[in-house]
Amino acid sequence: VQLQASGGGLVQAGGSLRLSCAASGSTVSSYTIGWHRQAPGKQRELVASIRSGGQTEYKDSVKGRFTVSRDNAKNMVYLQMNNLKPDDTAVYYCNIGEYRGIYYYPGRSWGQGTQVTVSS
């Protein structure tokens, strides 16, 4: 399965963006999809995920601001980001992973990310 993230851009603090993750080769509803981000000089981190059953999880710092969703008919996964902060600036990626217990393990295929820049 190939995933491609898009929808990034430049936005002022307090603004919103919706990122899209397009899948090809299989159906996204069969997998756990994670949204990750990597800021300059920092490690890549998981910010949100949606499991095949629809259960969602979020990094504490984005809870209440980010919403992950899935459109099975379009084979797409989205990340709605509201009330964006400068600390949200990063390259965002979508990835197929899996949960083993409470721990999330990303897959190897990352694809090209999309840049989100939040100005103060």
The residue type at 37: R
> What are the backbone angles phi and psi of residue 82, rounded to the nearest 5°?
-115, 160
| Res 57: pLDDT | 96
Among residues 32, 100, 114, the alpha carbon closest in space to that of 70 is found at: 32
pLDDT at site 9: 97
Residue 34 confidence class, pLDDT cut points 50, 70, 90: very high
pLDDT value at position 82? 98
> Does residue 71 carry a pLDDT above 80?
yes
Give the pLDDT confidence score for residue 89 in this predicted structure. 98
Q: Are 69 and 77 in contact (CB under 8 A)?
A: yes
pLDDT at 51: 95
Beta bridge partners of 26: none
DSSP string, 95-120: EEEEEETTEEEE-S-----EEEEEE-
User: Given pLDDT bands bounded at 50, 70 and 90, which one contains residue 20?
Assistant: very high
Select the highest-mean-pLDDT range: 27-31, 62-66, 105-109.
Answer: 62-66
Query: Looking up tokens 């990310």, which residue turns up?
Result: 113
